[in-house]
Amino acid sequence: MDAEALLRALAGGAPDDAARAGVTQAAVDRHRATLDAWGLAVTAAPGAGFRLAAPLELLDARALRAALPRDAAPRVAAIDVLVETDSTNRMLLERAPPAPGMLDVCIAEYQHAGRGRRGRAWRAPLGACLCLSAAWRFDKTPAELPALALAAGVAVRRAVARAAEVDVDLKWPNDLVFDGRKLGGILLEVGASAIGGCHVVAGVGLNVAVPEHLLASVCDWPRGAVDLTAACGERTPSRTALAAALIAELARLFAAYATRGFAPYRAEWEAADCLRGRDVAVHEASGTLAGAALGVDADGALLLATARGERRRVLAGDVSVRAVP
């Protein structure tokens, strides 16, 4: 029994089921290092067998495809669910782009080298988060490509509302926020396409059921991070329903974006903007710029009113809310 087979045997949660699948003390001991790396604890039930210390809903490609709504399902060419990889974004960027009008999806139960903005490391315990990337090829590079990451934020927000009944705030340029705490993020990357246009990969990371002691390591925000289990009042939403809703929303977004651009998403993005009207500091490569956030421009740039009365457009940078003296 290899580590993946052991994982799937234990994921059912019932010691009797694990015993029937051939889970023995020797199998657990043989893969103990891998289970530890994945952040999974195994307990022994006297006289019954073994089980995971915490429930685990593993994702399945067939179940995800069956859960897709009718309008989105025909646009999804491939759904790959991996137990472990370094980065789902990298996996899709290194593949040939999907056919025009089709979406390729890669999901990992565990990422050991996931990346956030500016190359920051992002690691999620196995099954505790949703680590999903979706690839699309535009025949012609959209004029509003810089705003696509913001539109993707709206797509994720819609998926979370549908699958978990949670209203998510958005923080420019790519953070998902609940109650002032970080719930997840989006990493949009663009690769070259040998056949013209551009190859876009949108990576989404969402905290679903992260152990409390690990949330502190997820981000360095003043109020820290949060997961959907806490946002739902300690009820863990279905990761299958969440992933299916997210795939559907991204398929709809990419299919319409070439012709419609950011405009259909801008009002919803601004309604969820957690920075609008607040004093912020934008940390750029050239230094720090302070001012009041005024929302976003039609191309997704952050609008800033400085203390000198200037109106500035910020295209890239990290934003933090300024502390009140």
CA dist 60 and 245 (Å) reads 14
Amino acid letter, residue 103: L
Is 171 assigned a catalytic role?
Answer: no
Q: How far apart are the first and last CA of the chain?
A: 60
Among residues 117, 123, 252, 276, the one annotated as catalytic is: 117
| Rg value, the chain, Cα | 21
Only one residue has tokens 């609940």, namely 178
DSSP assignment string, 250-317: HHHHHHHHHHHTTHHHHHHHHHTBSSTTSEEEEEETTEEEEEEEEEE-TTSPEEEE-TTS-EEEE-S-
Is 117 assigned a catalytic role?
Answer: yes
CA dist 304 and 284 (Å) reads 14
What is the number of other CB atoms lying within 10 angstroms of the CB of residue 263? 11
CA dist 179 and 162 (Å) reads 18
Is 75 assigned a catalytic role?
Answer: no
Q: What number of residues does the chain have?
A: 325
Among residues 75, 90, 182, 266, the one annotated as catalytic is: 182
Residues catalogued as catalytic: 117, 182, 322
